[in-house]
Structure 1
Amino acid sequence: MENNSDLNNQAAQYTLCFNTRCPKAENCLRHSMTQYTTAQNIRLSVINPLCYPAAGKECPHFRSNKKIRVAWGFKKLYDDMPARISRAIHLNLEAIFNHSPYYRYRNQKLGLTPKQQECIRQVCRKHGWKEEIQFDRYTEEYDW
């Protein structure tokens, strides 16, 4: 688990929720992080209490306090592929993510969510690549 100073720094960076009546409060990252606010946090971003959803409605600000497995980079993705397949996959992925974000994902500047990882796997399968996709590295992170 991260130490309290790391969590305190994260709490100061994100919009927090102090709604104790929310049925999802115990599983909400925005609510969980409120316990790490201290007097050192001069400013906090907080969800307006007047904007809490009505009873029975889904909160649009909910963020799960469970970590997700984020993949970073896929520079070696094309190494073992035939040129015909790798070119088709490259063009398809660049069309999905757009030019600049594609290269940021590939070069580990942006992390790939599990949904994006699955998208890459599906594109590879669509073009005939049956091997398992390995990303350059993985981390466990909160899904802000």
Structure 2
Amino acid sequence: MDEVKMGILISALRKISPSLFVIALLSLISFYWMQRSVNLENELAQMSERHTTERLVAANAYNAELQRQAALNDELTRQLIDRQNQITTQLLQLGSSIDGAIKNDGNIYSGIGADSLCVYRRAYGYSCK
């Protein structure tokens, strides 16, 4: 601002009564703080919205992980049941094979005849040959 304008401003301010000057100054200060308050409220609302969005994203990710874990649990449970059924079937077959092998072997000194030995080897995954 040049000196002429500054001089006009100062002379205008001298003509204003002190109480009017204080009221104007307080009004400016009040306006500034009101604007600052509105800005802070807007910023707080944005932060709250971002926080809510982040929590929602985290909750969705957690739910997706829970669903993945549940699906994996279901698959492993199904595999376990299938394997248990296979083992039960094998045990039943082995039990009937043992009974038949003992009858076919008859009275043998060692207690294990050819048929019993074959059942034993098959139980451990070997062939009877």
Task: Sort the TM-score into its range (normalised by shorter chain).
Answer: under 0.3
- Higher RCO (CA 8 Å, separation ≥ 6 residues): 1
TM-score, normalised to structure 1, is 0.21
Structure showing the higher strand proportion among its residues: 1
